[in-house]
């Protein structure tokens, strides 16, 4: 007799990523120019590589303290205080996780009760929605307007609030939009959160890639300390994606519960990632400044090329690795357009709908490929537009 295993509805209901049909369309194709990746095709700074080599030579790969190497938590707490202006007690308010991905799930699973609503200013990073569903909560999309550079509309956000609204989750600088909410906007968001008694989850994984302003963390506002969870990581800022190391800081009482879940799921973050993270915190700043300047330049080149295509509009990028151009003038769905571009032009882009239904008619383009491949992708995109995009 075959055993019929019933999976739980929360997990069954997680929507499939729109990346799946894109990967399928790429199968068997060669020489694709990848303007879709969020995974920079770039080496880690030598400083970190050397530290890791030294560690590997010791042959020691133990479990670490469950909540992260004490010396990493201490160094990170100092860095958060110096750079982010966030106070995070390394014993009680800071947890080292397997990337922001783990941190997101831990926090959402810990604070969201079934039926709770969570505001997602949208288009939003795809896994935010999936995590809400996995936690039995209801994601409520609050539209961000491209005409307004994807800054929040607080009247609209207020209308989305119900007695069940628990939290607001956002990523700043933003994936997929490439925009950055300013200090003034974040201060207004703080007032809004205090007025409506909301928890804020702020994913700052792209913080180092804030191109025009000083980065600002909502968690640095003293009144927000007991209602903000700040998530950060080393994947993007130090090209350490595969080392899977991130962190979350928030109020001690909730972090206590978060740590229990972390212990159940992962025990601890792998030591290799934590050694890399410790090196990253000591990495010479010139190296990081060079990487940041390089990305700023790549994004500007891509942005200029894309807005020069007649009929395409795009919010001006200010951070992260992405732009989110609007192709609605051409009457194709985002998915059809992305697949057509793979088939006819050998260029991969992500359909905007990977970032929620409000991303319809947009593509997310990135600058994570090698510079020669980005250049090739841009020229193929321009050629495709000339041949096939008529409005
Ligand atoms: N948050 C955002 C907005 C991302 O873009 C990504 C990765 O692309 C992640 C989180 C995942 O980060 P990590 O590698 O730290 O798990």
pLDDT digits (tens, 9 = 90+) for 339-387: 999 999 999 999 999 999 999 999 999 999 999 999 999 999 999 999 9
Quote the pTM value: 0.97
- Note the pLDDT tens digit of each residue in 257-287: 999 999 999 999 999 999 999 999 999 888 8
User: 48-55 long-range contacts, Cβ below 8 Å, gap at least 24?
Assistant: 48/238, 48/240, 48/276, 48/279, 48/280, 48/283, 51/275, 51/276, 51/278, 51/279, 52/272, 52/275, 52/276, 52/279, 55/271, 55/272, 55/275
Q: Whose CA is nearest to atom 5 of ligand 1?
A: 175
Q: What are phi and psi of 174, to 5 degrees?
A: -100, 135
Residue nearest to atom 12 of ligand 1 (CA): 100
**233 CA: nearest ligand 1 atom:** 15
User: For residue 184, with 0-12 CB atoms within 10 Å meaning exposed, 13-18 middle and 19 or more buried, which class applies?
Assistant: exposed
Is there an atom of ligand 1 within 6 Å of 130 CB? no
| Band (1; pLDDT cuts 50, 70, 90) | confident
Give the 3-state secondary structure percentages of the chain, helix then strand then coil, rounded to 5: 50, 15, 40
Q: 384 CA distance to ligand 1 centroid (A)?
A: 30
In short, whether 99's Cβ falls inside 6 Å of ligand 1 is yes
241 Cβ closer than 6 Å to some ligand 1 atom: yes
CA of 131 to the centre of ligand 1 (A): 13
Mean per-residue pLDDT over the chain, rounded: 96
Q: Which domains does the chain have, with CATH numbers?
A: 9-44+286-385 (3.90.1150.10), 60-281 (3.40.640.10)
Looking at the chain, the whole-number percentage of residues with pLDDT higher than 90 is 96
Looking up tokens 């200029």 gives 304
Residue 175 C-alpha to ligand 1 middle, in angstroms? 9
Q: Rounded to whole angstroms, how far apart are CA atoms 192 and 188?
A: 6
The atom of ligand 1 lying closest to the CA of 103 is 16
Q: What is the pLDDT of residues 102-114, one digit of tens each?
A: 999 999 999 999 9
């Amino acid at each position: 007799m075959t055993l019929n295993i019933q999976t739980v509805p929360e997990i069954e209901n997680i929507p499939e990523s729109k990346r799946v049909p894109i990967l399928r369309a790429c199968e068997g194709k060669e020489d694709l120019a990848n303007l879709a990746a969020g995974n920079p095709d770039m080496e880690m700074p030598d400083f970190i590589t050397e530290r890791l080599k030294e560690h590997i030579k010791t042959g020691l790969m133990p479990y670490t303290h469950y909540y992260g190497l004490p010396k990493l938590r201490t160094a990170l707490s100092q860095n958060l205080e110096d750079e982010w202006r966030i106070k995070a007690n390394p014993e009680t308010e800071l947890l080292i996780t397997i990337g922001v991905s783990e941190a997101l799930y831990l926090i959402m699973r810990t604070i969201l009760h079934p039926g709770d609503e969570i505001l997602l200013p949208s288009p939003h990073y795809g896994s935010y929605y999936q995590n809400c569903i996995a936690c039995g909560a209801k994601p409520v999309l609050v539209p961000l307007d491209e005409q307004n550079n994807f800054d929040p509309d607080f009247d609209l956000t207020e209308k989305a609030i119900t007695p069940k609204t628990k939290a607001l989750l956002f990523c700043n600088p933003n994936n997929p939009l490439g925009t950055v909410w300013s200090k003034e906007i974040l201060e207004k968001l703080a007032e809004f959160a205090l007025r409506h008694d909301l928890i804020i989850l702020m994913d700052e994984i792209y913080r180092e890639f804030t191109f025009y302003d000083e980065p600002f963390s909502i968690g640095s506002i003293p009144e927000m300390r007991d209602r903000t969870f700040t998530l950060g990581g080393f994947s993007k800022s130090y090209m350490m994606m595969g080392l899977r190391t991130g962190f979350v800081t928030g109020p001690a009482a909730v972090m206590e519960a978060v740590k229990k879940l972390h212990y159940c799921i992962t025990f601890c973050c792998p030591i290799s990632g934590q050694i890399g993270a410790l090196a990253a915190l000591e990495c010479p700043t010139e190296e990081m400044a060079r990487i940041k300047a390089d990305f700023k330049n790549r994004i500007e080149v891509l942005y200029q090329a894309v807005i020069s295509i007649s009929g395409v509009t795009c919010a001006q990028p200010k951070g992260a690795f992405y732009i989110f151009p609007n192709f609605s003038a051409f009457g194709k769905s985002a998915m059809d357009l992305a697949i057509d571009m793979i088939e006819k032009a050998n260029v991969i882009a992500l359909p905007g709908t990977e970032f929620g239904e409000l991303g319809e008619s947009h593509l997310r383009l990135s600058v994570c490929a090698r510079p020669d491949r980005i250049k090739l992708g841009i020229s193929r995109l321009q050629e495709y537009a000339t041949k096939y995009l008529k409005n």
